[in-house]
Amino acid sequence: MNRPTPHSGATRGPADHELRDQIVAAATEHFSRYGYEKTTVSDLAKAVGFSKAYIYKFFESKQAIGETICVNCMLQIEAEVRAAVDGGDRPPEKLRRMFKAIVDATLRLLFQDRKLYEIAASAASERWPATIAYEARMQALLQDIIQEGRQTGDFERKTPLDETTAAIYLVIRPYLNPLLLQHSFDYTEQAPARLSGLILRSLSP
C-alpha cells in the first residue's frame, strides 16, 4: 500500500521510521478517541487507512503500538517535568516544581487532552518495560535534586541518600502512577503543595 508522503517523488520512499511514526500518530488519535482495550489491529487498520499487513510490518502486536504511544507520552511528561525543574532556582523550589509538574502533566496527557489513560493503565498494571524505565528515570531526577540540595546545604545529609530518595518517591508515586492517580482526583489540587511542604520539612538540615 502506498500513501502520499512528502518524499513520494524521490527515488526512495519515506524512511521506515517516518512510516512507523505515521502509524503511531494515527493510532494515538484513534485510541484516545475510541479506547485501547476494545480496539483490535483490524479495527485500527480500517480506521487509519493502512492495511493490517502493513501495520504488522512495523509492529508485532497491538501492545507494541501501545508501548510506543506510551513511551511518547512518558517522554512528553518527562520533558515537561524537566523543564519545570530547570526553571527552579534552588533545590527546594526544584522539588516543589517537580511534584507539581508531574501531577499537571500526567492529568492533562492521560485524563484530559489525550485520554490515553487506558493504555497507561495497561502499561502500569502489566509493568511494561517502558513504565519501569520511566519510573527509574523519575527516581534518578529526584535523586539528582536531593543530591544537589545536600551540596548547597539546603538539605540534611544524615539519612542515606538512597533511603531518602526511596521514601520521597513513595510519597510522589500515587500521583505519578495512573492507576493510583485515578482515585486521587479530589486531592490533585492540594496534594502537591502539602506533600512538598512535608517532604521539605523532612529534608531540612
Minimum CB distance to a second copy, residue 194 (Å): 4
| 12 φ/ψ angles, rounded to the nearest 5 degrees | -105, 145
| SS3 state at 148 | helix
Q: End-to-end CA distance of the chain, in Å? A: 64
Interface with a second copy includes 188 (CB under 8 A)?
Answer: no
Structural element, H or E, at residue 15 = none
Told to check if 170 binds a second copy by CB under 8 A, we report: yes
Which lies closer to a second copy via its Cβ, residue 27 or residue 121? 121
CA distance linking residue 151 with residue 161, whole number of Å: 12
Q: Which of 5, 63, 76, 202 binds a second copy (CB under 8 A)?
A: 202
Query: What residues between 135 and 164 interact with a second copy by CB under 8 A?
Result: 156, 159, 163-164
Rounded CA separation 37/21 (Å): 21
Q: How many CB atoms within 10 Å of residue 126?
A: 9
Which one of 15, 64, 136, 167 is in contact with a second copy (CB under 8 A)? 167
Residues that bind a second copy (CB under 8 A): 124-125, 156, 159, 163-164, 166-168, 170-171, 173-174, 177, 179-180, 183-184, 187, 190-191, 194-195, 197-199, 201-203
